[in-house]
């Protein structure tokens, strides 16, 4: 396995919980919510999906942990909302398209957990029954390759510009929910096995090298057991 999870929603939630120091355990799930996300936190019968708006506030109510966005001013909160909408609202779905629709054999192996031909068959069934309608409603499946690449370029360059030479996105000394969203979304893309315009741009565009450094830094800070988790996910 290339990352503890190749599902951005799961990585967002796990990274957030690690940032606030809340212990958790992971359990495989197969159900997808109305927004196409299949990761959630469950505590005392309350379910918070990775697609929940204002994730920091939602998770605070379930985990009783500190709100990572507490104390941010209006400008920072607006930037956090922009980052959230670009990544959870758009980039995650583009990545899902390249995972499940464009590379069903890899999706079957790494996401479904079955080798050829059964994994590919199951991956295509998931697309037809659940993911396909969602991707169609977002206009991703009907977009041209150039249009998708342009979206990826704009999002990556915007993130790189917001980050600059800072350690975290919105606070000088600690992470916020934006950091969990950025790392959780980009880590499976950057470290994972799936080819996509997002990964291609991140790997070969020197102007966003600060995003590379950022991903490695957040991984080392909050995922010291990264390799161990990868081995466990592959087992």
pLDDT in tens, 124-152: 666 565 666 666 666 777 788 888 889 88
State residue 34's pLDDT score.
47
Convert the pLDDT of each residue in 51-102 to its tens digit: 666 677 667 666 667 788 888 999 999 999 999 988 987 888 888 777 777 6
Using pLDDT thresholds of 50, 70 and 90, give the confidence band for residue 235.
low
- The answer to pTM > 0.85 is no
- CB neighbour list of residue 220: distance below 8 Å, 6 or more residues apart: none
Most confident of 103-112, 129-138, 181-190, 191-200: 181-190
Identify the three-state secondary structure at position 49.
strand
- In this structure, the strands spanning 40-43 and 46-49 are antiparallel
Residue 100 CA to residue 108 CA, distance in Å, equals 8
Residue 17 corresponds to which tokens in the numbers above?
């919980």
Residue with tokens 């704009």: 154
Of residues 131 and 7, more confidence is placed in: 7
Q: Give all domains of the chain, ordered by start, each with its CATH number.
A: 8-234 (1.20.1050.10)
The encoded tokens of residue 128 equal 């037809």
């Amino acid at each position: 396995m290339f990352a503890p999870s190749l599902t951005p929603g799961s990585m967002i939630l796990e990274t957030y919980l690690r940032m606030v120091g809340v212990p958790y355990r992971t359990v495989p799930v197969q159900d997808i919510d109305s927004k196409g996300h299949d990761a959630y936190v469950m505590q005392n019968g309350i379910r918070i999906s990775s697609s929940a708006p204002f994730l920091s506030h939602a998770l605070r109510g379930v985990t009783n942990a500190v709100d990572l966005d507490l104390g941010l001013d209006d400008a920072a909160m607006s930037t956090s909302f922009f980052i959230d909408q670009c990544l959870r609202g758009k980039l995650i779905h583009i990545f899902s398209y390249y995972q499940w629709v464009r590379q069903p054999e890899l999706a079957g192996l790494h996401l479904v957990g079955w080798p050829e031909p059964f994994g590919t068959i199951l991956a295509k069934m998931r697309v037809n029954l659940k993911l396909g309608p969602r991707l169609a409603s977002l206009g991703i499946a009907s977009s041209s390759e150039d249009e998708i690449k342009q979206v990826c370029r704009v999002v990556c360059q915007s993130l790189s510009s917001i980050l600059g030479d800072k350690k975290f996105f919105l606070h000088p000394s600690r992470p916020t929910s934006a950091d969990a969203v950025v790392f959780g979304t980009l880590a499976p893309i950057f470290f994972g096995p799936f080819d996509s315009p997002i990964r291609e741009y991140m790997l070969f565009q020197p102007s966003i090298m600060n995003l590379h450094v950022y991903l490695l830094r957040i991984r080392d800070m909050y995922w010291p057991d990264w390799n161990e988790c990868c081995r466990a996910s592959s087992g």
